[in-house]
Amino acid sequence: MRDLPLSSPPPFCAPVGSAFVWLCRLSLLLVVVGNLSAQDTPITVRGSLKTPVPAELRGLLIDNPYVTFFIDLGEDGTVFDLMAVASNHRDLIPTATETLLAAELEPAQQDGQPVRSRATVTVRFYDPEQRAWQMGLSVRPFGSSASDAADRRVYASSASSFEYGESPREQLDEPLKGLPPTSRIRAEGTVLGATGRCLLEFYIDPTGKARFPSALERDNDDVAINATLLLTRSRYSRPTRDGHPTFVKVQQEFIFQ
């Protein structure tokens, strides 16, 4: 993953002509996830990815509030998928998602041509009232009332419990359900009917959906497409850590015979 230059929880996929066409487009990233060279350019954002802190969270005075996403952007600017992967307060994620989807994203360039690629991008927050107060304007900043102070004390005593991020499988509250190490499938019942083996690596998000698959090993491209199709139909148990939503990276082997 490449980070976007910082100067600048639900799947999102633009509709196309058919599910099969969409699947084939999705599989392109399974076949090759190109590494951009120093001469090429990563995904960029026109304008700024900064937005005001939601009013209900301003009184907490969160230090440097942010949400970081994984994003899969097509060569024509289509957002195939995005997923929050880190934040110092999980309640920032809905607003950050809206901000990112409203932004104008420029595809990565490789050899002078736009290409589909994946990257990380961070949405940052600011408090307009605090900013005005710091500039010397006569504005009473959020966080100055007795109620704000009480909320802030509660938050400060358990701030880490509001953080959001990836968790190792061994630290989940319960083992993942619906994830056998190897899935054996009759090839004749699949879309392409291909036989062979494929090892996929992907994330399971807080809703139990598979996200951002990559083919680590495959006998051929068709089995990678078949395996990806199975993932789009699969649901796993919802991962939690210490009672809070999280996401986890896993691997699963598919054998079509």
pLDDT digits (tens, 9 = 90+) for 175-184: 998 888 788 8
34-38, 79-83, 205-209, 249-253, range with the lowest pLDDT: 34-38
pLDDT in tens, 121-167: 999 999 877 655 455 554 555 555 556 656 656 666 566 788 999 99
Q: Round the average pLDDT of the chain to a whole number and report it.
A: 79
Q: Which of 35, 72, 31 minimizes the C-alpha distance to 198?
A: 31
60 has pLDDT over 80: yes
- In 3D space, the residue among 163, 164, 183 whose CA is nearest the CA of residue 227 turns out to be 183
**Structure confidence at residue 15 as a pLDDT band (50, 70, 90):** very low
Residue whose pair of structure tokens reads 């934040």 in the numeric block:
87
Report the percent of the chain where pLDDT is more than 70: 72
For residue 113, list its beta bridge partners.
110
pLDDT digits (tens, 9 = 90+) for 36-56: 555 588 899 888 899 999 988
Domains of the chain: 2-165 (no CATH), 169-256 (3.30.2420)
pLDDT of residue 14: 35
Signed CA dihedral, 166, 43, 10, 190: sign only: negative
pLDDT > 80? residue 5: no
Q: Nearest-5° angle of CA 83, CA 89, CA 95? A: 55
Strands 50-52 and 117-126: parallel
Question: Which has the minimum average pLDDT: 122-131, 150-159, 192-201, 221-230?
Answer: 150-159
Q: What is the mean pLDDT of residues 68-76?
A: 93
Element (H, E) at 66: strand 66-73
Cβ-in-10-Å burial (0-12, 13-18, 19+) of 9 comes to middle
Burial readout 97-128 (b: 16 or more C-beta within 10 A, e: otherwise) = bebbeebebebbbbeeebbbbbbbbbbbbebe
Whether 245 has a pLDDT exceeding 70, the answer reads yes
Residues 6+ apart with CB under 8 A from 157: none
Residue 252 or 3, more confident: 252
**53-57, 105-109, 190-194, 246-250: the lowest-pLDDT one:** 190-194
Contact yes or no for 235/176 (Cβ under 8 A): no
Residue whose pair of structure tokens reads 């969409």 in the numeric block: 22
Higher per-residue confidence, 160 vs 57: 57
Interacting residues of 85 by C-beta distance below 8 A, sequence separation 6+: 68, 69, 70, 120, 165, 166, 247
The single residue listed with the structure tokens 């309640």 is 91
The pLDDT, as a whole number, for residue 152 is: 59
pLDDT of residue 255: 93
Nearest to 81 by CA among 93, 92, 72, 90: 72
